[in-house]
Amino acid sequence: MENQTRKWWLVDARDQILGRLASNIATILMGKSKPTYSPHLDEGDFVVVVNADKIRLTGKKAEAKVYYHHTFYPGGLKEVPFKSMLERHPDRILYLAVKNMLPKNKLRIRRLKRLKLYASALHPHKAQKPLPLEIGGT
């Protein structure tokens, strides 16, 4: 499996729904769209996502969604609302969604390294010639 060729895909996240986009990206990272898919092998492709700051949520989730993390100190539970996360780290929203949709095993870190997220339309992966990937659900 060392000599496998991985494709590069370019996804435009403009006006895409967060959950649907994240599940499609997770499928590509796992390699489930390939006929040679095997759960214990890492056969997925690279995914470059541009315009991550233009992602949207349905309903009232934009006001209600909160991200939590703990500092491991007493009283260290931190809350970050979706709106402020979108302003500060727009790529982290999609990263966390894809991370939670991948299987929780030893391959998850390796698969996430193949996910390249950018808040703007510019990316440094032009030399890899990523193919545009159309994901429905707008």
Is residue 3 domain-resident? Answer: no
Question: Is residue 76 a contact partner of residue 8, using CB atoms and an 8 Å limit?
Answer: no
Is residue 37 domain-resident? Answer: yes
What is the spatial distance between Cα 51 and Cα 21, in angstroms, rounded to a whole number? 13
- Does residue 103 have a pLDDT over 70? yes
Is residue 137 domain-resident? Answer: no
Q: Which helix (H) or strand (E) holds 29?
A: helix 18-30
Rounded to an integer, the average pLDDT of 38-51 is 95
- Does residue 138 have a pLDDT over 90? no
- The answer, as to whether pTM is greater than 0.85, is yes
Rounded to an integer, the average pLDDT of 47-63 is 96
Rounded to an integer, the average pLDDT of 10-33 is 96
Is residue 95 domain-resident? Answer: yes
What does the DSSP assignment read for 104-133?
A: SSTTHHHHHTTEEE-SSS--S-GGG-PEE-
Rounded to an integer, the average pLDDT of 81-90 is 96
Q: Which domain does 36 fall in, by range?
A: 8-132
Is residue 138 domain-resident? Answer: no
State the chain's mean pLDDT as an integer: 94
Query: DSSP 3-state assignment of 4?
Result: coil
Is residue 70 domain-resident? Answer: yes
What is the spatial distance between Cα 65 and Cα 124, in angstroms, rounded to a whole number? 31
CATH classification of the domain holding 88: 3.90.1180.10
Is residue 12 domain-resident? Answer: yes
Share of the chain above pLDDT 90, in %: 92
What does the DSSP assignment read for 10-25?
A: EEE-TT-BHHHHHHHH
Is residue 1 domain-resident? Answer: no
pLDDT band at 135 (very low <50, low <70, confident <90, very high): confident
Number of domains observed in the structure of the chain: 1
Q: Using one digit for the tens of pLDDT, what is the confidence trace for 113-127?
A: 999 999 999 999 999
- Does residue 82 have a pLDDT over 80? yes
Q: Please enumerate in sequence order all residues whose Cβ is within 8 A of that of 78, keeping only pairs 6 or more positions apart, or say none.
A: 68, 69, 70, 71
pLDDT band at 136 (very low <50, low <70, confident <90, very high): confident
Q: Where are the alpha helices (DSSP H) in 38-107?
A: 61-64, 82-88, 90-101
What is the spatial distance between Cα 120 and Cα 53, in angstroms, rounded to a whole number? 7
